Amino acid sequence: MNDHPLRLNEQAPTAAPPIPAVQTHGLSRVYGQMTALSNLDLTVHRADLFGFIGSNGAGKTTTLRILATFLTPSSGRAEVLGHDVVRDADRVRHLIGYMPDFFGVYKDMEVTEYLDFFGACYKIPSAVREKTVADVLELVGLTEKRGALIGALSRGMQQRLGLARVLIHDPQLLLLDEPASGLDPRARIEMMAILQELQRMGKTIIISSHILSELQTLCNRCAIIEKGRLIYSGPVQGVRADSQVGRVFRVRVSTGNERALELLRARPEVVEASEEDGRLRVTVRDDQADGGLVAEVLVRGGARLVELREEELGLEEVFLRVTKGETQ
Amino acid sequence: MILLPVAHRELLVEARKGGGAWARFFSALGGVAFFALLWSTPAQGNPRVISEVVFLTMAWLLMAYALMAGPLHTADALGREKREGTLGLLFLTDLTALDIIAGKLAATATRSVYGVMAVMPVLALPVMLGGVSGGQVARAALAILVTLLLSLSIGLMASVLARDFKASVSHALIGMALLGVGLDAAGWVVTVRTGSSPDAMRQWSPVAMLRWSQAEPWRSPAIHASFHRAWHRQAALAALALAVSAVMVRRHRVDWVESSASPPKPAASESAGVVGWRHVEWEVLLLRNPYGWLQRVTRPVPRTFLLSFACVTAAFVASACVALANPGTNLQMNAVVLCALLLAVLHVGIKLQFALVATRGINEDRETGALELLVVSGIGPALVQAGHRDAIVLQYRWFITTVYAAQFLMAAVVTAKGLSGIEGGLLVLVVGAAFLWVDADTLLRVGLRHGLKERDPQAAFRQTFLRVLLPGWIAIMPFGVALVTGASAAVLAVMGCAWLAVSAYALKRARKRARIDIEHGFMALAASLPFDTDDWEVRDDFRRAAGAQYPSARSA
């Protein structure tokens, strides 16, 4: 298996420095009166598994289509592995594998015929093609279905086949638009496992998805986009801190919650305080307060503090806090 | 240019269907049978006359097939890929627009060329009998082949320009009708009115080209030169159509990266409700009263068809008025011939439209997910068929009424003083009206059958056309030839009765097959509905409902 093109750059994640796989500078796209993308500055490093998050109509698909050379930007520029997506479109197409959110398949072909067809379209020599098809089928777990008609495959398997098609010419960058949409839980988990394996092999993956809990565990970096504008871009772990959404504490007191809420709400550093399941949920500003302040306020006010712990904010909650739910 | 992958893919899929060998076999068998039939006709006697009649009849049949090849084979070649979202993916590869167009053309041309080539040896048989020269056969073959190329190219261009199947087939049909019949007929009208022959206009018409191909260079050098110019113009027109297709397919590639099933707006997917992401018209009615939904949901009539129908009808009425106003003159005869031609165009046009809407209607129901709801609703295949028929008849009632009115007018024209008696008019009225009714009804049933059987609407339309209309048109040819060559009344009566009997049997059989296949098709659907919904719980609910409606489908 070592001579398989997909395996060649297995060492890449440890060896390569963080050279940008994708860079956009002031990227904008306007459809008539509507601005789908506005001055997007985005950097994705090599071997990143990069989550692209936003509501419907936020501009995710437009960005991915520009990177896939299907759309030209109205202004600004985008580079994929150092190549301009407009000027070097042919070169870029060789470097990327793009999977749209709703893509069609030739239902009247067999699985191997389908992949062989796309291999031929990428000018892969016929001597190499057979082995490449077998390897990508093994990678996506479709070896047993190699002779099946595509029309007879389930949605999850067709999605895997779409991923196999994307991999057939061994691209360095994968652009996956909602790859897990419409999949049942098992197929979704399997798809995520395949993506992690691809990242381990050194592929750079940009994945747009609405299932933020999965992106949180899957991706090392992410970007949040709303109404065509970038709200956050960076490590998944740093999204809470960088987004200034505040810190959340869970508090239990034995002297009455109402009095404790009064004390907390009187402080300007406290953004929000509420009661949930008999406990208090307190949100304080990032730069002005920490758990010590919460404890001090309660103890000085005469409350008996039983429990105080910081709650780790999930990507979903951060997303809801930093976006306003606006679409184009 | 990477021609092979696309052509290889198309041929691979075609090979799996296994119809190619039968197409060649039946084309050749039809040619031989036709030849044998004419040879056995006793009245002609002179082999030279027989060979000429056989040759011309077969050449014109092949020309008719060549003109129809585009609408039948290529008019949805790219349209289907556009609708299913596979075309855009090809643009991510090393393929260029020209590769895709040329690959599609190569693959679709193979099947059509097979059919034509199978008949070519039979076309050459008359040379051995005398009466037809080798040059005439060669020029006719060239004319037919270039017309085939032109028709396939026009079909491809229509499939690039239109996403909808009905629209692209209508565009291709109208384009070929204009080129094939329209230009020649217009040239004929100009000749009748002014006395001069507008060859420059006719040189764009394949029909005129085939007619000129019969002129020997040593006997009519001017006509022979016109044939050459016409041949070059048809080839240039085909190349232009291919070039336009390549440019257009490239320009709109971003529109085709996703399937038509993808939600255009968030609001649409939210309102789709029980069928997930698919948008179904009048969904509430479909859920509550499926039969009512079937009757009420009418698809828009393609504007190109509407416009063409109006133009042909107006031309027919004008010609009929001229014929009625000038009894006993040459002008009347010319106008009557034009009337007959235009009436035939109206008949063929409405029948092809019926075949299109019947095949596409059920195909669209499958694409939108409405078919799944119909299957589980329990209204049954017979009512689904009746509902579709009612909807189409309702949608096209004014067109049908217009054709019947035209049939009355035609009967009035032929009974006018100096042409024929009342019995001639009655014959025109009864035969025309009866054929329209029987053909249209059969087309609806057979169209629904093939629409249900075939996922590919082009294949469904082709099957419907080949099984209902084409056999009737071919079967009447020997009768027409016998009539032209002066066969006795007894021979004509026998041939006419045989044709009617064969047609009636074929139609009866087609109807029976349609009923059985639609019933079986529904059971098969219930057993293996894909239910391409995002929601896998909804999908399982559908499967259970389908199993309850069609218990026998579990074992299908």
Report the alpha-carbon distance of residue A289 to residue A266 in Å, rounded. Answer: 14
Query: Inter-chain contact A102–B4, Cβ cutoff 8 Å?
Result: no
Confirm if A182 and B534 have CB atoms less than 8 A apart: yes
- Of B21 and A147, which is predicted with more confidence? A147
User: Which residue type is seen at B241?
Assistant: A
List CB contacts (< 8 A) between B93 and chain A: 93, 118, 121-122, 169
What is the DSSP-derived secondary structure letter of residue A306? E
Query: Could you tell me how many residues make up chain A?
Result: 328
Output the DSSP codes for A158-217: HHHHHHHHHHTT--SEEEEESTTTT--HHHHHHHHHHHHHHHHTT-EEEEE-S-HHHHHH
Q: What is the pLDDT of residue A198?
A: 86
- Return the residue of A nearest to B270 by Cα: A56
Q: Does B19 touch chain A (CB under 8 A)?
A: no
For chains A and B, count residue pairs whose Cβ atoms are closer than 8 Å. 90
What is the DSSP-derived secondary structure letter of residue B300? P
Report the alpha-carbon distance of residue A272 to residue B257 in Å, rounded. Answer: 46
Q: Does A98 touch chain B (CB under 8 A)?
A: yes
Q: What is the pLDDT of residue B249?
A: 82
Q: Tally Cβ neighbours within 10 Å of residue A321.
A: 15
List CB contacts (< 8 A) between A100 and chain B: 85, 88, 257-258, 262
Q: What is the pLDDT of residue B20?
A: 57
Q: What value, to the nearest 5°, has the Cα angle with vertex B342 and ends B340 and B343?
A: 65
Q: Tally Cβ neighbours within 10 Å of residue B418.
A: 10
Residue A250: phi and psi, rounded to 5, are: -100, 125
Query: Distance between alpha carbon B474 and the CA centroid of its chain, in Å?
Result: 14
For A158, A222, A282, B162, the CA distances from B530, given in Å and listed in that order, are 12, 35, 49, 27
Question: Tokens 């390549």 map to which residue?
Answer: B246
Q: What is the pLDDT of residue B270?
A: 35
* pLDDT, mean of residues A248-258: 82
Q: What is the pLDDT of residue B266?
A: 34
- The mean pLDDT value of chain A amounts to 81
Query: Could you tell me how many residues make up chain B?
Result: 556
User: Which residue type is seen at B6?
Assistant: V
Residue B56: phi and psi, rounded to 5, are: -65, -40
What is the DSSP-derived secondary structure letter of residue A110? B
Q: What is the pLDDT of residue B231?
A: 93
Secondary structure tally for chain A: helices H, strands E: 12, 14
Q: What is the pLDDT of residue B267?
A: 35
User: Which residue type is seen at A48?
Assistant: D
Distance from CA of B439 to the nearest CA of A (A): 32
Choose among B85, B93, B253: nearest Cβ to A102. B85
Report the alpha-carbon distance of residue B209 to residue B217 in Å, rounded. Answer: 14
Q: What is the pLDDT of residue B1?
A: 46
- Of B383 and A197, which is predicted with more confidence? A197
* DSSP helix/strand/coil, A253: strand
Distance from CA of B532 to the nearest CA of A (A): 7
Report the alpha-carbon distance of residue B181 to residue B184 in Å, rounded. Answer: 5
Choose among B4, B93, B254: nearest Cβ to A70. B254
Provide the greatest CA pair distance for chain A.
80
Q: Does A211 touch chain B (CB under 8 A)?
A: no
Query: Inter-chain contact A65–B94, Cβ cutoff 8 Å?
Result: no
Report the alpha-carbon distance of residue B97 to residue B387 in Å, rounded. Answer: 42
- Return the residue of A nearest to B454 by Cα: A108
The torsion region of residue B367 among left (phi > 0), alpha (psi -120 to 50) and beta comes to: alpha
* DSSP helix/strand/coil, A98: strand
Burial class (CB in 10 A: 0-12, 13-18, 19+), A49: buried
Q: What is the pLDDT of residue B482?
A: 67
Confirm if A35 and A185 have CB atoms less than 8 A apart: no
Confirm if B55 and B132 have CB atoms less than 8 A apart: yes
Confirm if B226 and B137 have CB atoms less than 8 A apart: no
Q: Does A68 touch chain B (CB under 8 A)?
A: yes
Question: Tokens 């009342």 map to which residue?
Answer: B422
SS3 per residue for B86-155: CHHHHCCCCCCHHHHHHHHHHHHHHHHHHHHHHHHHHHHHHHHHCCCCHHHHHHHHHHHHHHHHHHHHHH
Q: What is the pLDDT of residue B434?
A: 81
List CB contacts (< 8 A) between B81 and chain A: 104
Report the alpha-carbon distance of residue B27 to residue B31 in Å, rounded. Answer: 6
Confirm if B282 and B371 have CB atoms less than 8 A apart: no
The torsion region of residue A198 among left (phi > 0), alpha (psi -120 to 50) and beta comes to: alpha
Q: What is the pLDDT of residue A264?
A: 84
Choose among B84, B95, B261: nearest Cβ to A121. B95
Confirm if A20 and A45 have CB atoms less than 8 A apart: yes
Please name which of B9, B2, B159, B8 lies closest in space to residue B93, comparing C-alpha atoms.
Answer: B2
Query: Inter-chain contact B88–A100, Cβ cutoff 8 Å?
Result: yes
Q: Extract the tokens encoding A298.
A: 């309660």
- pLDDT tens for chain B, residues 1 to 556: 455 788 888 777 777 765 556 666 666 666 666 666 666 655 456 677 777 777 888 888 888 889 888 888 888 888 888 777 788 888 888 888 888 888 888 877 877 787 777 777 777 777 887 778 888 889 999 999 999 999 999 999 998 888 778 888 888 888 888 888 888 888 877 877 777 777 778 888 898 899 888 888 888 888 888 899 999 999 999 999 999 988 888 776 655 554 443 433 333 333 333 332 233 455 566 666 666 666 666 667 778 888 889 999 999 999 888 888 887 777 778 888 888 888 888 888 888 888 888 887 777 777 666 777 777 666 777 777 777 788 888 888 889 999 999 998 888 888 876 666 677 777 778 878 887 887 888 888 888 878 877 777 888 888 787 777 777 676 666 666 666 666 667 777 777 777 777 777 777 777 777 777 777 766 666 655 544 444 445 455 555 555 555 554 444 3
Query: Inter-chain contact A117–B5, Cβ cutoff 8 Å?
Result: yes
What is the DSSP-derived secondary structure letter of residue B485? T
Confirm if B148 and B238 have CB atoms less than 8 A apart: no
Residue A125, beta-bridge partner list: none
Q: What is the pLDDT of residue B271?
A: 35
pTM: predicted TM-score of the whole model, two decimal places: 0.73
List CB contacts (< 8 A) between A106 and chain B: 9, 13, 86
For A55, B92, B277, B396, B493, the CA distances from A182, given in Å and listed in that order, are 17, 24, 10, 39, 65
- Cβ contacts of residue B260 below 8 Å, gap of 6+? B82, B83, B84, B85, B163, B367
Choose among A105, A169, A182: nearest Cβ to B86. A105
Query: Inter-chain contact A113–B9, Cβ cutoff 8 Å?
Result: yes
Q: Tally Cβ neighbours within 10 Å of residue B369.
A: 26
Please name which of B456, B510, B464 lies closest in space to residue B79, comparing C-alpha atoms.
Answer: B456
Confirm if A101 and B258 have CB atoms less than 8 A apart: yes
Crossing angle for the helix pair B165-177 and B134-161, nearest 10 degrees?
Answer: 140
Choose among A101, A105, A120: nearest Cβ to B262. A101
- Cβ contacts of residue A34 below 8 Å, gap of 6+? A328
Sheet of A279-284, strand order: A270-276, A279-284, A247-253, A305-311
